[in-house]
């Protein structure tokens, strides 16, 4: 998912990439350094105290304007608005039918006037999706400091929406900009939906496997091994994965995983995990083994 996010950011030619990491942060660092030539800085958030606690740790690395993204999503956005607008803050939004699970944006006369995090009774259907542009990061850092001093938090976490609200209250100009696609990846159901969207968008054929069938749209890595199986539709099979005597559909099979003698659907099989038997739906973490 991080690769898909960066694919949409790199055309902006960022001068620096800053990653705030935690669990498995070293994997992200190794991957970024092997895949990208742009200067990259890695900052660890040792305690999960929320979004602005993470952002302020990058104060020494992001010191001018910046695009801040939460990478547990897939999106399509026109970033041309950054050059076209003089706003201090641009919050990217998507209209949704039920915004109660998200932060929402409230506008008046074309300006963003209020952000509300996960409201019980939403006043707007514009969900803030986790992409923000700040013209001057010093303004944001100052607002975060005030947020900490006033202890503006929710369930012991500090949210970016509250810091942006402080900037708005200080008179900074804030606007919204729409995204045309927003696919969340924050849980297994959402991740599988995003996988389906990607396969519908970019699937362009797969290798043939004698004695097996691949139903499009699907993605099978060239190093995967498929024997006596039906794979797809909406299957993504990672490098080195092995599927034998199985039916696998609407499923992500990660790198090095093995599925044997099973029928699985709507499932996620983690890296180097093994699933054997007759499971219908599983969510198996890395290096796990399940037999049903």
Q: What is the CATH number of the domain that holds 76?
A: 3.90.550.10
Asked if 27 and 172 sit in the same domain, the reply is yes
Q: What number of CA atoms fall less than 13 Å from residue 78's CA on the CB side?
A: 9
> Which CATH number is 215's domain given?
2.160.10.10
Whether residues 217 and 245 share a domain: the answer is yes
| Dihedral angle sign, alpha carbons of residues 195, 17, 169, 51 | positive
Which of 186, 203, 219 corresponds to the end of one domain? 186
Calpha distance 230→79 (Å, rounded) = 41
Q: How far apart are CA 268 and CA 270, in angstroms?
A: 6
CA distances from residue 123 to 39, 116, 127, 153 in whole angstroms, order as listed: 41, 9, 11, 21
Comparing CA positions, the residue from 65, 52, 53, 68 lying closest to residue 19 is: 68
Q: What is the pLDDT of residue 205?
A: 74
Query: Same domain, yes or no, for 208 and 182?
Result: no
Token look-up 């707007």 returns 124
Paired with 78 in beta bridges are: none
Please name the residue that has the structure tokens 């054929």.
Answer: 205
Statement to judge: residues 212 and 180 lie in one domain: no
* One domain for residues 97 and 230: no
Q: Does residue 155 sit in the same domain as residue 63?
A: yes
Q: Is 275 found in the same domain as 155?
A: no
pLDDT along the chain (292 residues), means of 10: 92 96 93 96 94 95 94 91 97 90 90 87 89 97 98 92 96 97 87 93 80 94 96 96 97 97 95 87 78 71
**Strand (E) or helix (H) holding 263:** strand 263-269
Last residue of a domain, one of 125, 152, 186: 186
Q: Give the number of domains in the chain.
A: 2
Pick from 79, 39, 86: nearest CA to 180: 79
The pLDDT assigned to 203 comes to 64
Q: Which domain holds residue 270?
A: 189-291
Residues 37 and 111 in one domain: yes
DSSP H or E segment with residue 169: helix 160-169
| Inter-residue contact 159 to 54 (CB < 8 Å) | no
Examine the domain organization and report whether 22 and 82 are in the same domain: yes
Rounded to two decimals, the pTM is: 0.85
pLDDT of amino acid 112: 97
Tell which of 157, 186, 215 closes a domain: 186
- First vs last Cα of the chain: how many Å apart? 30
Shared-domain flag, residues 19 and 154? yes
**Is there a single domain that holds both residue 32 and residue 155?**
yes
If asked whether residues 12 and 105 sit together in one domain, one would say yes
């Amino acid at each position: 998912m991080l690769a898909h996010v960066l694919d949409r950011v790199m055309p902006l030619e960022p001068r620096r990439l800053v990653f705030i990491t935690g669990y498995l942060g070293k994997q992200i660092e190794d991957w970024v350094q092997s895949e990208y030539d742009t200067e990259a800085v890695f900052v660890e958030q040792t305690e999960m105290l929320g979004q602005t606690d993470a952002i302020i740790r990058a104060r020494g690395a992001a010191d001018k304007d910046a695009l801040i993204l939460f990478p547990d999503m897939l999106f399509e956005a026109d970033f041309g608005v950054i050059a076209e607008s003089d706003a201090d803050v641009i919050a990217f939004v998507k209209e949704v039918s039920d915004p109660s699970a998200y932060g929402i944006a409230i506008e008046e006369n074309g300006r963003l006037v209020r952000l509300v995090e996960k409201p019980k009774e939403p006043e707007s259907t514009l969900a803030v999706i986790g992409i923000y542009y700040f013209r001057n990061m010093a303004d944001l850092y100052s607002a975060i400091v005030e947020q900490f001093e006033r202890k503006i938090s929710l369930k012991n976490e500090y949210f970016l929406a509250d810091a942006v609200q402080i900037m708005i209250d200080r008179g900074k100009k804030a606007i919204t900009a729409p995204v045309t696609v927003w696919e969340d990846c924050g849980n297994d159901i959402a991740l599988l939906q995003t996988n389906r969207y990607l396969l519908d968008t970019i699937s362009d054929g797969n290798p043939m496997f004698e004695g097996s069938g691949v139903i499009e749209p699907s993605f099978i890595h060239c190093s995967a091994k498929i024997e006596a199986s039906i794979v797809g539709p909406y299957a993504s099979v990672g490098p080195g994965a092995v599927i034998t005597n199985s039916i696998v559909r609407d499923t992500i099979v990660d790198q090095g995983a093995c599925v044997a003698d099973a029928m699985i659907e709507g499932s996620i099989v983690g890296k180097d995990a093994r699933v054997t038997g007759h499971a219908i739906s599983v969510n198996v973490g890395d290096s796990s083994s399940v037999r049903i």
